[in-house]
Amino acid sequence: MELNSRKEHWNNVYSKKQPHEVSWTQEIPETSLKFIHSFKLKKSAKIIDIGGGDGKLVDYLLDEGFENVSVLDISEKAIERAKQRLGEKASKVNWIVSDVTDFQPTHLYDCWHDRATFHFLTRKSDLNKYLSIARKAASSFMIIGTFSDKGPKKCSMLDVHQYTEVELQEQLQNGF
Ligand SMILES: C[S@@+](CC[C@H](N)C(=O)[O-])C[C@H]1O[C@@H](n2cnc3c(N)ncnc32)[C@H](O)[C@@H]1O
């Protein structure tokens, strides 16, 4: 999918569907939080949620006192929704509207979190761009959540690349 149509697709989703109408909504992002807690990060650690959408991970991180949280998403509609939900607290977050494959990080992130964005990069060129950006910007910990080889073949009507643990490890071996 081309860049503009990708953006259009996701803005359309976030304009038309409420959180309870999409399959990925989590009231409490338990697995992500469990991983993040296991890293024993300082509250000043830089954490970025790639393709965070209007997900609630950011709410929990702010409530736990994390001071440097960034949320990146291709859809400004998703970001607007997350900001509205957070109200005043939204000003504590660094919001980035960008396609992850165009992202130009200006500093390093102690924790790079991606739940269900990586698997949309079905073209080798996009995948390579993502990996090259992440290699430079992710300094310590990385969480990548994708559909497995036993999971659905599509998400939000888009094709996904299903990963086995081995394949994901192979993708993330070089330079991480
Ligand atoms: C399935 S949703 C998951 C949302 C969130 N991570 C969660 O777990 O609730 C995928 C998210 O990735 C975003 N996204 C898809 N492709 C992207 C891209 N190339 N760059 C940045 N964000 C992207 C979408 O806008 C959407 O918010």
Q: What is the pLDDT of residue 17?
A: 95
Give yes or no for a contact between 66 and 47, defined as CB atoms under 8 angstroms apart. Answer: yes
> Helix crossing, 76-86 with 3-16: angle to 10°?
40
Confirm or reject: Cβ of 160 under 6 Å from ligand 1. no
Length of the chain, in residues: 176
Over residues 144-157, the pLDDT tens digits come to 999 999 999 999 99
Residue among 36, 117, 147, 155 to mutate when testing ligand 1 (max atoms within 8 A of CB): 117
- Number of other residues whose CB lies within 10 A of the CB of residue 55: 23
30 CA distance to ligand 1 middle (Å): 18
pLDDT tens sequence for the chain (176 residues): 666 799 999 999 999 999 999 999 999 999 999 999 999 999 999 999 999 999 999 999 999 999 999 999 999 999 999 999 999 999 999 999 999 999 999 999 999 999 999 999 999 999 999 999 999 999 999 999 999 999 999 999 999 999 999 999 999 998 88
**pTM of the predicted structure, to 2 decimals:** 0.97
Over the range 115-154, which residues count as b (16 or more CB within 10 Å of their CB) and which as e? Answer: bbbbbbbeeeebeebbbebbeebbeebbbbbbbeeeeeee
Give yes or no for a contact between 35 and 61, defined as CB atoms under 8 angstroms apart. Answer: no
Instruction: Report all structural domains of the chain as residue ranges with CATH numbers, in order of start.
Output: 3-15+42-171 (3.40.50.150)
Q: How many H helices and E strands in the chain?
A: 6, 7
Confirm or reject: Cβ of 100 under 6 Å from ligand 1. yes
